[in-house]
Each structure stands twice: as structure tokens, then as C-alpha cells.
Amino acid sequence: LSNEVGLDESGGDVEGFDELGSNFLDFLRRCNVEIKAISGSWGPEFSAMALPEMSEIPDDILILASETIYSPASTRAFTSTLLALLHRCEGAGGKARALVAAKRVYFGVGGSVDDFLNELRELGGEAKVVWTTDGLENGVGRCILEVTSGVKEANTQIY
């Protein structure tokens, strides 16, 4: 884990980071798992920052995204950036997938899982629901989608 995001054995900026956190970091090291946390706007610059050089791309990559499809205005940028990252890893011979956690519908802002899935399919990607809740407990349905690419990187434009 990178000290850039405040995650190290001393706890960094993460509140409540104690023995459990240290044990978790030790476990990740033993399993040769690297976590890279990146923040920024979706687009070509983000993609370049996330995977700077093809030679540095790991064999397997899992991208985690949460609450990223709430705005219809940013759905295409997020979807195309996500697919570009998956394609770059696959183009280097690796395996890639993403898990996207979201509310089924974002009331008041207009985004939805269905809109994301339509955009994803239009750009050649694929997704399946791996976890869902109907929202009866708190009124908000949620799901986790497993996203994979379906086309070569050359066919994906980043907006």
C-alpha cells in the first residue's frame, strides 16, 4: 500500500487503524497483493495516471469503483475510462475486471444502474450482477456489478 494515501503500519490518515489494519497489510504482502488508490476526474489523464506504462501493468487487475454512476453527465466518461483501463491490462496480456457498487437509482440527480449498463453495452463492455439488495430495509436498492471488456482498446474512445 502506498504512503501517498496514508495507509501504512503507523495508521497514517486512516482513523481507527490498529492491529487489524497491520494484520491486513501483512496478509496482503504475503499474498503479493498491491493496492493502488487513485483519485481524479474520469478521462484520459486519469487512465494514464492509473496505468502509466504498459510494462508496469500487473498480470491481474481488479478495479473497484463505488457511487460513480450517479450523474448522467459523467456516465460516458466513467464507462469509457473504465473500459480503457480494462483494455490496457488485457492488451498487456493480463486479466482484468472491475467491481462497480451503486444504488439502483439516484433520486434527484437522474443516474441509474440501467443507464450505466446501457452505456457499457453501447461501448462493447459486459456486466453481471454479483450482489443485490431490493432496498426494503432502507428504501434504496443497491447492487455490485462485475464489469469486463468486450472489445479491443483501439475501439474505445475516452471522452
pTM: 0.74
Residues 102 and 142 sit within 8 Å (Cβ to Cβ): yes
Q: What is the signed CA dihedral for 36, 40, 41, 44, rounded to 10 degrees?
A: -60
Q: What is the pLDDT of residue 159?
A: 37
Give residue-wise pLDDT tens across range 92-129: 788 899 999 999 888 888 889 999 999 999 999 999 99
Q: What is the pLDDT of residue 82?
A: 92
What DSSP designation does 128 have?
E
Strand boundaries in the chain, DSSP class E? 60-66, 95-103, 126-133, 142-148
Task: List 147's β-bridge partners, or say none.
Answer: 98, 127
Does residue 14 have a pLDDT over 70?
A: no
> Is the torsion defined by CA of 143, 71, 68, 90 positive or negative?
positive
Give residue-wise pLDDT tens across range 60-96: 888 889 888 888 888 999 999 999 889 888 877 888 9
Distance between CA atoms of 80 and 85, rounded to whole angstroms? 9
Amino acid of residue 139:
G
Angle between helix 72-91 and helix 113-122 axes, rounded to 10 deg: 50
Instruction: Give the pairing of strands 142-148 and 95-103.
Output: antiparallel
